[in-house]
Amino acid sequence: MSFQVAIIHSHGSENPAKVIFKVTIALISHPDCALHEMGEHHPEAPTRLDAIQNQLIASGLDFVLLHHDAPRASRAQLNRVHDSDYVRQVFTRAPAEGRAWLDPDTCMNPHSLSAALHAAGAVVLGVDLVMSGQAGTAFCNVRPPGHHAERDRAMGFCIFNNIAVGAAHARAAHGLKRVAIVDFDVHHGNGTENIFREEANVMFCSTFQHPFYPNTGVATDSAHIVGVPLAAGANGDAFRAAVAAHWLPKLDAFAPELVLVSAGFDAHVEDDIADLCLVEKDFAWVTTEIKKIADRHAGGRIVSSLEGGYALSALGRSAAAHINALLG
């Protein structure tokens, strides 16, 4: 639901000013997402969620967000984008104790299956909230991330492809014909491309460092897959020029009914996992441009979900800049 908040500014006046605004953004998370952990020194750590939440509190943004607990995604929702045998394998391999490795970078502890189900379910809930008008936009502060998970395998810290599950739910449950996914993580969202490569009613626009893990994204030639590689060392000017030249015209022509965002903040200059040089204002800028597209074509409907970002201070500041831009 939306609600109004009144802030009273008296400044010693007998007639204090009252500012009224409407909350339009949902913040979706779940405690189990912080219980998934892959080892003491693994960069995809529970502290990532704390870094974002703490920055939202410190900046005052937390006060204007409507909090929701993420539900678990159902098997039927997962099976829309993942092979049923793969989903069954994840459930079967979930350990009762210790860890089970799904790929060299990705493992599960006893809480990981629940975390992954809630992470995918968060995007499903976000779609439902914006499609019903209960929220204008939503940000899913969840982990594990999702955009590397392909139709039939885990990869790169990702178990289920959260954003893809949300996109498929938007089409199946809400009858949408055109859904756009934008991805500004420093790594190419190979899983999202793998899932929607043959589905022209889902547009996938991404920027990513190249050459770099997972070394994909430059070979696809498709009207609805827009991959824009950036060289190591590229700064905000190069990023903005690439988005303006390659994403925005195609997104406008596609006229999406809903925009989903794979929000990775590991392209930040302080994040040593890669070599791009973005800063908070670049994430705010791209979010504002995405919001313009959504306002023109999708009734403002945007659902964003956390992907990468491992330098904790930079992650918190960047996510807050992104959410602030979503608020407009």
Q: Are 142 and 308 in contact (CB under 8 A)?
A: no
Residue among 145, 143, 140, 184 at smallest CA distance from 323: 140
Q: Are 293 and 248 in contact (CB under 8 A)?
A: yes
- What is the predicted pLDDT for the residue at 221? 77
Mean pLDDT confidence for 106-117:
98
Which contiguous run of DSSP H or E holds residue 274?
none
Task: Tally Cβ neighbours within 10 Å of residue 299.
Answer: 13
Q: How far apart are CA 321 and CA 44, in angstroms?
A: 21
| Catalytic residue selected from 36, 148, 187, 188 | 148
Q: Are 259 and 217 in contact (CB under 8 A)?
A: no
Six-digit token pair at 22?
Answer: 């409407």
Q: Is the pLDDT confidence value at 4 over 60?
A: no
What is the four-CA torsion angle of 296, 298, 299, 305, rounded to 10 degrees? Answer: -120
The two beta strands, 258-263 and 179-183, are parallel
Q: What is the pLDDT of residues 118-172, one digit of tens each?
A: 999 999 999 999 999 999 999 999 999 999 999 999 999 999 999 999 999 999 9
Mean pLDDT confidence for 298-306:
98
Q: What is the pLDDT of residues 180-219, one digit of tens each?
A: 999 999 999 999 999 999 999 999 999 999 999 999 999 8
Q: How far apart are CA 74 and CA 240, in angstroms?
A: 37
Q: What is the pLDDT of residues 29-58, one digit of tens each?
A: 999 999 999 999 999 999 999 999 999 999
Q: Is 148 a catalytic residue?
A: yes
Q: Is residue 17 part of a domain?
A: no
- What is the predicted pLDDT for the residue at 5? 39
Is the torsion defined by CA of 135, 137, 140, 146 positive or negative? positive
Q: In the structure, what pLDDT confidence band is assigned to residue 22 with cuts at 50, 70 and 90? A: very low
Could you give the residue ranges of the DSSP H alpha helices within 94-203? Answer: 112-132, 162-174, 190-196
Q: How far apart are CA 173 and CA 79, in angstroms?
A: 14
Q: Are 206 and 197 in contact (CB under 8 A)?
A: no
- What is the predicted pLDDT for the residue at 9? 39
Q: What Cα–Cα distance (Å) separates residue 317 from each residue in 1, 124, 280?
A: 27, 26, 7
Six-digit token pair at 238?
Answer: 């190069």
Q: Is residue 19 part of a domain?
A: no
Domain CATH for 62: 3.40.800.20
State which residues form the domain around 48.
Answer: 25-327
Q: Are 229 and 208 in contact (CB under 8 A)?
A: yes
Q: Are 256 and 309 in contact (CB under 8 A)?
A: no
Residue among 184, 179, 116 at smallest CA distance from 146: 116
Q: Is residue 3 part of a domain?
A: no
Q: Is residue 223 part of a domain?
A: yes
DSSP state of 74: P
Q: In the structure, what pLDDT confidence band is assigned to residue 91 with cuts at 50, 70 and 90? A: very high
- What is the predicted pLDDT for the residue at 328? 87
Q: Is the pLDDT confidence value at 23 over 70?
A: no
Instruction: Quote the pTM value.
Output: 0.93
Contacts of residue 15, defined as CB under 8 A and 6 or more positions apart, other chains included, come to none
* Number of separate domains in the chain: 1
Q: Is residue 94 part of a domain?
A: yes
Q: Are 153 and 86 in contact (CB under 8 A)?
A: yes
